[in-house]
Structure 1
Amino acid sequence: MKRVIIAVVIIAAALAGIMFLLNKNKAKNEAQTAVVAEKNAAVAVRADVADLREVNAQYISNGVFAPKQEVKLAAEAAGRVIRVLVDEGDFVRAGQTLAIVNGDKQSINVNNAQANFNNAKSELSRFESAYATGGVTQQQVEQARLQLENAKNNLKTAQISASDLNVTASFAGVVNKRSIEPGSYVNAGTEMFEIVNVSTLKLLVNVDEKNIGQVKVGQSIKVESTVLPDQTFNGTVKFIAPKADASLNFPVELEIRNNTANDLKAGMYGTAYFGGEGVVNVLTVPRTAFVGSVSSNQVFIVENGKAVLKTVVAGRSFGDYIEIISGVEKGTQVITSGQINLLDGTPIQIIK
């Protein structure tokens, strides 16, 4: 009996020791887990500093040159092309004949209409003479006058149709495309030529809302093309859109006078420089600091180890940096990546 009691005591002591060790390890693990959880609660972000930077004061915008005048000439009457008088690349004057379409049918119509007109004219003269001697009534004379007027209108219509056979340039320019050859058969509406005038070009660029106030109709703007790096052109603001697009940019149209050699071509890229040249010091933050986009006017700053959401007033855009008019001060740390995981007051850990 004594041995049984001793065995029970030993087993109880062993169990107590095991329970003590398990509870001790559990407390240690919980403490370690709490430390890890505390560390993991901080969101990893990158940050930069709001600082004064030397930037170019000009606002730069790019676009594509387009011809001021461009037209596709089409046949106005059906027929077979007899002659083509110009080639691609030829300069043509306003009113110059570019091609002639077979006009046999139209010439016959003109001759018939002319004969009808001459006959109606003679009939009216005969009726007027007869009316003077009482041979016809006033109503018959009026009917003859009406027939002459109809014949006159028919003659004009036939002459217009015949003139449509000569395809002419509507303005001075260069033949950019020729779609016909002698012997081709064309219907009314068939495209025959494409004429462009590049002596004056248009450049459509976008100006953001922060800079559009500086742009005025009639203002002279320096324009360059990367294809012609040694040449500078003068553009004149012709149009400013009264409404911004979805990105808060305003389309602005410039008109540029080409040089005598017409070196600028439609389709080239052009760069417009708004504002005077010079370098200024302005308070800026990286473009990536803005939540969503620059138009949100919101950034996260670093304050006591936490991300604090701030509303700022953004100014001009200088490429990768945006001017800050108010909202943050020089030296303030702003978060530049990781904002998608942040709320106002979220603990953060800055990484390099």
Structure 2
Amino acid sequence: MKINRTISGAIALTIIVASLTACGGNNQETIVAEQEKSIPVVVSKAMKGNIYQDVVISGQLKAENEISIIPKIAGVADVLSLNVALGDYVEKGDLLFTLDNGTLGSSIKDSLLAYETAKNNFDRIKKLYEEGAVSRQQYEQAQLSVSDTQIKALQNQMSDSYVKAPISGIVSALNIEKNGLAVSGQPSAVITDISVLQIEADITEKLINKVFVGKNVQLMIPVISDDMLDAKVSLVNPVPNSLTNLYKMKIQVVNYNDLLKPGMIAQIYFAIDESKDVFMLPIDAVIQEGTEYFVYIVEEGKAVHKTVKVDVDNGEYIEIVSGIKEDDDVIVSGQEFVKDMSSVRIIRGE
């Protein structure tokens, strides 16, 4: 009978152990099942910084200062000398070309002779007038005859035959040749200063009140490189074009290394709606439904719906004005799979 009691005790112990094992297995299975039901998410806290919206428009580089050289002549004149070629760089005051002055030289000589004769005559009349030998009328007539106005005019015409560069720059057009003709009213040459260039661009009514003279912008000239160049807004026309209803804007850029050339296409980047020292989130973390913007934060393993107020977005980040706290864990990946109070588990924090 002792053996039977021993066997009975062993059987009872086995049943107890088996029961405990079964209970432990059920608890583990429950935990695993709950984990399998929870949604994996990535969280991040809102970061603080500056955010602005970038606007990109295109325009073409042009010379800011370009002057056509039109000789001050009547009719046509022979080109006696030509000191420049197309593409040459010239300094202000350099002699470009010389035109035939025709009979100007002899005319000046005749005028100088007439002036000297009139002056000598006036000196004689003046002396007689002081002695009372001639009338005041004779004195005044002699005085009026002494004038170098005509001489100065002829000398100016003479100097006009020596055509000089009015500015420093590149000879960008040359329409005459040596021993050819220069024609009145037609440009003989064009001087283009490329040390400072400008870009003309059109902007819409949404931007006109956000762009002002002196505003800093950045340029990229794709044909040269992806590097950004600093530039400034030099003109904003507050009156729109009557046909396009667009507003004219000009950008000025200094051509420090002479790599920029008129005609090149530039991309203009400028910031609008800038906010400084504000909270930001990746734009994908914020969900929009109708007029409401909201995010999900994680609290005690649950996704909690939080309505937020937003402002500036730059396509990558968006400003959070209110609705969350600085230390909230905001779901930034996986939020499209959760609802309010969904069970979640954090697989990574950023």
* 2:283 alignment partner, SS class: strand
- The amino acid of 1:102's aligned partner reads D
Identify the residue that residue 283 of structure 2 maps to in structure 1: 281
Offset at 1:280? 6.8
Instruction: Tell whether the 8 Å contact from 2:52 to 2:271 is kept in structure 1 after alignment.
Output: no
Give the TM-score, by structure 1 length. Answer: 0.60
Identity %: 23
Which of 118, 130, 141 is residue 128 of structure 2 equivalent to? Answer: 130
Instruction: Tell whether the 8 Å contact from 2:214 to 2:233 is kept in structure 1 after alignment.
Output: yes
Offset at 1:318? 9.4
Structure 2 portions without partners, runs of 5+:
1-50, 275-279, 289-310, 316-335, 337-350
Pairs within 5 Å for 1:193-272: 193-245=189-241, 246-260=243-257, 262-272=258-268
Instruction: Tell whether the 8 Å contact from 1:57 to 1:280 is kept in structure 2 after alignment.
Output: no
2:217 equivalent to 1:192: no
* 1:163 alignment partner, SS class: helix
CA 1:80/1:316 → structure 2, altered by over 3 Å: closer, same or farther?
farther
Pairs within 5 Å for 1:271-350: 271-275=267-271, 281=283
- The amino acid of 2:108's aligned partner reads V
- The amino acid of 1:182's aligned partner reads K
Cα displacement string for residues 302-339 of structure 1 (whole angstroms, at most 9, x for unaligned residues): xxxxxxxxxxxxx99999xxxxxxxxxxx9xxxxxxxx
Identify the residue that residue 290 of structure 1 maps to in structure 2: none
CA 1:158/1:166 → structure 2, altered by over 3 Å: closer, same or farther?
same
d(CA) in 1 for partners of 2:268, 2:221: 9
CA 1:284/1:123 → structure 2, altered by over 3 Å: closer, same or farther?
farther
d(CA) in 2 for partners of 1:284, 1:242: 38
Identify the residue that residue 33 of structure 2 maps to in structure 1: none
Identify the residue that residue 114 of structure 1 maps to in structure 2: 112
Which of 174, 178, 185 is residue 178 of structure 1 equivalent to? Answer: 174
d(CA) in 2 for partners of 1:221, 1:280: 25
Size of the aligned set, in residue pairs, is 234
d(CA) in 1 for partners of 2:282, 2:99: 65
- The amino acid of 2:212's aligned partner reads K
* Superposition CA RMSD, Å: 3.1
Instruction: Tell whether the 8 Å contact from 2:70 to 2:184 is kept in structure 1 after alignment.
Output: yes
Offset at 1:135? 2.6
Cα displacement string for residues 131-170 of structure 1 (whole angstroms, at most 9, x for unaligned residues): 2233321111111111112xx1111110111111011111
Offset at 1:264? 0.7
d(CA) in 1 for partners of 2:122, 2:250: 60
Cα displacement string for residues 17-63 of structure 1 (whole angstroms, at most 9, x for unaligned residues): xxxxxxxxxxxxxxxxxxxxxxxxxxxxxxxxxxxxxx993100101
Which of 156, 159, 181 is residue 160 of structure 1 equivalent to? Answer: 156
d(CA) in 2 for partners of 1:142, 1:247: 66
Instruction: Tell whether the 8 Å contact from 1:57 to 1:279 is kept in structure 2 after alignment.
Output: no
Identify the residue that residue 32 of structure 1 maps to in structure 2: none
Identify the residue that residue 37 of structure 2 maps to in structure 1: none
Offset at 1:206? 1.9
